[in-house]
Structure 1
Amino acid sequence: MSFALKGVAYITGAGSGIGQHAAYSLARQGVRQFALLDRNPAKDTIRELRKNHPDVQVKEIQLDVADEAAVNDSVEQTVKEFGRLDYAFNNAGIGGTLDTTDKIDKDDFERVLGVNTLGVWLCHRAQIRQMLKQEKISESFRSYRGSIVNMASMYGVVGPSLSVPSTAYATSKHAVVGLTRADAIAFAHQGIKINAICPGYVATPLVMGSMNQGSVMDDERTKVPLRRLAAMEEMGDCVAFLHSEASSYMIGANMIADGGFTIT
């Protein structure tokens, strides 16, 4: 399906994984201007984008999403470079310690929430402030001043598996779901579309590196009705859909893409 997207995309955690593949998916749908943000270089993402889409324009920005001043500056840099900001994907996040509450240190808990919740909120806030200043990208009644997709998780809508006691992570992602719902209501009438994606287990390099006979992740895969992990490009396509006019009547949605894990 083609969504014929036009405009400027801003993606955190764009150097690898789902953020990287979201950039590829948006480019396939027509986006040609990207602000790619990561704590590490996004050179692989940029090289692949330019290989497949020679006309793409990229602004690479090193960013710690928990740094308020740096986040605000990154949005300002994006707008200075491209004139506006149409599609934001707040993807950067960390997994944190796999422990129950009685075993988690306060510093570890705060570190996970600092990136996964506060970091998303800081980016989200800066994006909203910019989008309120700009007009819709087209005259279509299905168009918006801007679209934001926040990275949540299937563990933002259900509790984590007993074999994966990711208490801090689940807490942070439940908070992202709440943020998405609250601000979707607050800004829908002002022309900003806000949704979240809730992936299940995805075959990222980190996850695949832990997959071996008898591993926890190998056991978790057997609980997925599709009996496989998601490909990163599948999650990228979900992000492109949520940014497109095909999802124009969706606000505050938490798009669960988990192979059926949460319905078993």
Structure 2
Amino acid sequence: MSTRVTGTAFITGSGSGIGQKTASTLAQNGISNLALLDINTVRLESTRNVLTARFPNVGVEILTADVRDEASVEAAVQKIVARFGGIEIAVHSAGISGKTPDSDENSLANWQKVIDTNQTGVWLCQRAVVRQMQKQEDRGGRLGRGAIVNLSSMFGISVPPPEMGLFPYTSAKHAVEAITKYAAKAHAAEGIRINAMCPNVVDTPMTHNAIKDGLFDKTLDQTPMGRCGTLEEIADSILYLVSPMSSYVTGASLVADGGRTA
């Protein structure tokens, strides 16, 4: 058994960062089609151009949509199915950091923005993909109907120091853990696997300035490996979760944090 993957992969937040790198990693490992969703059209187009040049045999569909909007998510899934026939893999990585003051100083508007994107957005995408996978033929064996990965965080299973100002973010990521585990139990018998990916700080366009400004210095000081994770390391971990290599893994939280929460 290998980490080779087949079929169509639906990846949110794929205009940059973890989502973008995951798309490339899946293309390297056998995926036939990529459906890339992001709110930023320019970044999506750039990602598509890079992927089609590097992997000319992989079909690429880009979808500009807001994961917070139910109609947008449903329309995106319908468009993917119309072009590619189904969805075998989904990676829900769209998210924002939403740095704020401590919980009692946080505004309702900021709270709602982060929760709508990082929590409700994941659930809306998961729900739409599960409904589609339920319609698909069970491929049996170690393939089933499909595999889903929701991007959580090491702060989805732990709590950062309050001075980091990640209260809404951490709250949403804890919810992603529950969303993942609840659905994994509900749909395991249908041949649908659902897992969460929990990375440490990764140098992405969303986190780069904060890393540079020292926001995560304390966290990295408490990380035995003493460094951020790389995009390649997280994408490879996601590849494992969506490949037949992890066919008996569902409802799990794969922690890739350099030992920070050990």
User: Does 2:225 correspond to 1:226?
Assistant: yes
Quote how far apart the aligned CAs of 1:143 are: 1.3
Equivalence for 2:234: 235
Q: Secondary structure at the match of 2:165?
A: coil
User: Does 2:108 correspond to 1:109?
Assistant: no
In structure 2, what residue type is equivalent to 1:226?
M
Which runs of 4 or more aligned residues in structure 1 lie more than 3 Å from their structure 2 counterparts after TM superposition? none
Q: Secondary structure at the match of 1:251?
A: coil
Quote how far apart the aligned CAs of 1:244 are: 0.4
Equivalence for 1:210: 210
Instruction: Describe how 1:187-206 pairs up with structure 2 within 5 A.
Output: 187-206=187-206
Which one of 89, 92, 103 corresponds to residue 90 of structure 1? Answer: 92
In structure 2, what residue type is equivalent to 1:230?
G
Quote how far apart the aligned CAs of 1:107 are: 1.3
Quote how far apart the aligned CAs of 1:223 are: 2.0
Instruction: Describe how 1:70-219 pairs up with structure 2 within 5 A.
Output: 70-136=72-138, 138-139=139-140, 141-212=141-212, 215-219=214-218
CA distance in 2, matches of 1:105, 1:226: 35
* Root mean square deviation of aligned Cα: 1.4
In structure 2, what residue type is equivalent to 1:234?
E
Q: Deviations over 1:20-72 (max 9, x none)?
A: 00101111110120110000021222122122211111111001001101100
Is the contact made by 2:133 and 2:146 (CA closer than 8 Å) also made in structure 1? Answer: yes
Is the contact made by 1:181 and 1:252 (CA closer than 8 Å) also made in structure 2? Answer: yes
Is the contact made by 1:207 and 1:217 (CA closer than 8 Å) also made in structure 2? Answer: no
Relative to structure 1, the CA distance from residue 46 to residue 2 in structure 2 (aligned partners, 3 Å threshold; closer, same or farther) is farther
Q: Which runs of 5+ in 1 are unaligned?
A: none
CA distance in 2, matches of 1:129, 1:121: 12
Quote how far apart the aligned CAs of 1:99 are: 2.1
Quote how far apart the aligned CAs of 1:221 are: 2.1
Equivalence for 1:261: 260
More divergent stretch after superposition (124-133 vs 219-228)? 219-228
Equivalence for 1:14: 14
Q: How many residues align?
A: 260
More divergent stretch after superposition (45-54 vs 246-255)? 45-54
Equivalence for 2:28: 28
Q: Which runs of 5+ in 2 are unaligned?
A: none
Quote how far apart the aligned CAs of 1:179 are: 0.6
Q: Deviations over 1:186-205 (max 9, x none)?
A: 00001111001011110113
CA distance in 2, matches of 1:241, 1:132: 22
User: Does 2:253 correspond to 1:251?
Assistant: no
Quote how far apart the aligned CAs of 1:134 are: 0.3
Sequence identity (%): 40
More divergent stretch after superposition (48-57 vs 8-17)? 48-57
Q: Deviations over 1:110-131 (max 9, x none)?
A: 1111011111111100001000
Q: Deviations over 1:120-176 (max 9, x none)?
A: 11110000100000013x44x111101110011111101112441311111100000
CA distance in 1, matches of 2:21, 2:104: 36
CA distance in 1, matches of 2:166, 2:210: 16
CA distance in 2, matches of 1:125, 1:7: 20
TM-score, normalised with respect to structure 2: 0.95
CA distance in 2, matches of 1:218, 1:174: 22
Relative to structure 1, the CA distance from residue 209 to residue 240 in structure 2 (aligned partners, 3 Å threshold; closer, same or farther) is same
